[in-house]
Structure 1
Amino acid sequence: MKANDRDRPVIRPLPAMDRARQVTEALAHYVEDARLQAGDRLPAERELMAALAVGRSTIREAIRHFQALGVIETRKGSGTYLLKPVSRDTVHMPLSLDTTHQRDALLQTLEVRRGIECEAGMVAARRRTARDLAIIEEKLDEMERVHIAKGTSGPEDLAFHLAVYDATHNPLFRQLLEQMRETFERFWSHPFDRQDFARRSFPFHRTLFNAIAAQDTEAARRETLKILDVVEEDIKEMSR
């Protein structure tokens, strides 16, 4: 082994826990330890899979996290490159609340969701492309399929809203969600142990899609508010 090989930072295998989060942290450590700068290339996907002992889907989830934060980009046929340096202290920087009182945390987060999602719906209605519509409808169809089969659709509901965010073509919407993901995901993880939480909002996802398809910004805002009004009513009712 050459001396300079011994000095090179090593990406170490992970224990079984939250794989995607650990991969994200491992990559942040590597970027910091290797002193990578904007424009530097990250290890290839296959190299990361072998070094971290995780599957391709986990690596890609971590890469999507970095892309959402706007710190890396993937160039087809070339690789993944750093857009700006990150460190283990700055890569997450999550916005969070004291969740001791679930009701209060959900209501406070809902206030933020109203501001972000109403605007996201309106911007998506203005900017959506035919491809965006196809993706949103695909997520909506899956959400409806699962909802009809199981009576609930947590992850599928979240995927629908993420597709609307992406249709804005403004990366800050997705970045804000990534920074608040842990808090936001509480809405899709059956708060108060109620499988029927926000179930009444189900039909309004289709009408929101219709508004975005019609490029009707005011209708998109109105249908988003209908969804979130149901969420607020259920928080108050189910937390009694």
Structure 2
Amino acid sequence: MAGIRDTSIITALPAQDRVRQVTDAVAAYIEQAELKVGDRLPAERELMSALGVGRSTIREVIRRFEALGVIETRRGSGSYLLKPVAAGTVHMSLSLNTARQRDALLQTLEVRRGIEAEASVVAARRRTAADLANIEEKLDEMERVHLAKGTSGPEDLAFHLAIYDATHNPLFRQLLEQMREAFERFWDHPFDREDFARRSFPFHRELFDAIVDQDTAMAREKTLRILEVVEEDIREMSR
């Protein structure tokens, strides 16, 4: 019939692509609407309707803006702009288009080694009692899941984010959030092995102890040991 086109050949966007597109769209709106610091953003339902996406996607985008320190969400009031936003500055353009998973994992590991070792040192130097409580809470949950399932995923990330927060330097978390999409693409069940990086698990408690003791040298050493074990697993499992 004239005018009817076959749309079955169109591939649905992965959820991660939708998050990226919505992030770009919200940043473009902020820029084009010339919102100023302190201005309120449209409500969740308004963004859902305008962008044609679900609540979970909108909330993930808002969470990312919060992590970057450009939006603040106030309970019962809405989300407000904390810093100027331009569409071209929301993302760092990171690309890991290598065809070999092993190479991609080793590349991301090189970046993590530099950032996480320094973050652990700064956290050990600056951590407060509240920071320690937060890190230990995330570590306890990571250990609980690990003992129950033999592995951990989001819990491990939450532990490291808590360490980043303990640096009291927002750039550490912002850098991780900017690189998170590229990292997660390759770190989700590498080689289809549930036991990937399991051997690094005990060193997380030792890293926490070093931060408690404000032993910066030991904090760096334990962080590097965790990543060293992960690298060994990558090389072993990719043979």
- TM-score, length-normalised on structure 1? 0.82
Deviations 1:88-126 (A, max 9, x none): x43223323233122122212211111100000011111
**Distance in 2 (alpha carbons) for counterparts of 1:149 and 1:77:** 37
Please name the residue that 2:235 is paired with: 236
Please name the residue that 1:81 is paired with: 81
Q: Identity, % of aligned pairs?
A: 76
**Distance in 2 (alpha carbons) for counterparts of 1:23 and 1:217:** 40
Superposed displacement of residue 40, structure 1: 2.8
Please name the residue that 2:121 is paired with: 122
Counterpart code for 2:85: P
- The total of aligned residue pairs comes to 224
Counterpart code for 2:188: S
Do 1:157 and 1:188's aligned partners in 2 also have CA atoms closer than 8 Å?
A: no
**SS state at 1:42 partner:** coil
Do 1:38 and 1:82's aligned partners in 2 also have CA atoms closer than 8 Å?
A: yes
Structure 1 residues 217 and 149 mapped into 2: Cα distance closer, same or farther (>3 Å)?
Answer: same
Please provide the CA RMSD for this pair.
2.5
Please name the residue that 2:36 is paired with: 37
- 5+ residue gaps, structure 1, are 1-14
**Distance in 2 (alpha carbons) for counterparts of 1:213 and 1:180:** 28
Counterpart code for 2:198: R
Do 2:101 and 2:186's aligned partners in 1 also have CA atoms closer than 8 Å?
A: no
Do 1:96 and 1:182's aligned partners in 2 also have CA atoms closer than 8 Å?
A: no
Do 2:69 and 2:82's aligned partners in 1 also have CA atoms closer than 8 Å?
A: no
Do 1:72 and 1:84's aligned partners in 2 also have CA atoms closer than 8 Å?
A: no
Q: Which residues in structure 2 correspond to 1:1-240 (within 5 Å)?
A: 17-18=15-16, 20-45=19-44, 47-48=46-47, 54-55=54-55, 58-74=57-73, 79=78, 80-87=80-87, 89-186=88-185, 188-240=187-239
**SS state at 1:73 partner:** strand
**Distance in 2 (alpha carbons) for counterparts of 1:22 and 1:227:** 34
**Distance in 2 (alpha carbons) for counterparts of 1:128 and 1:49:** 39
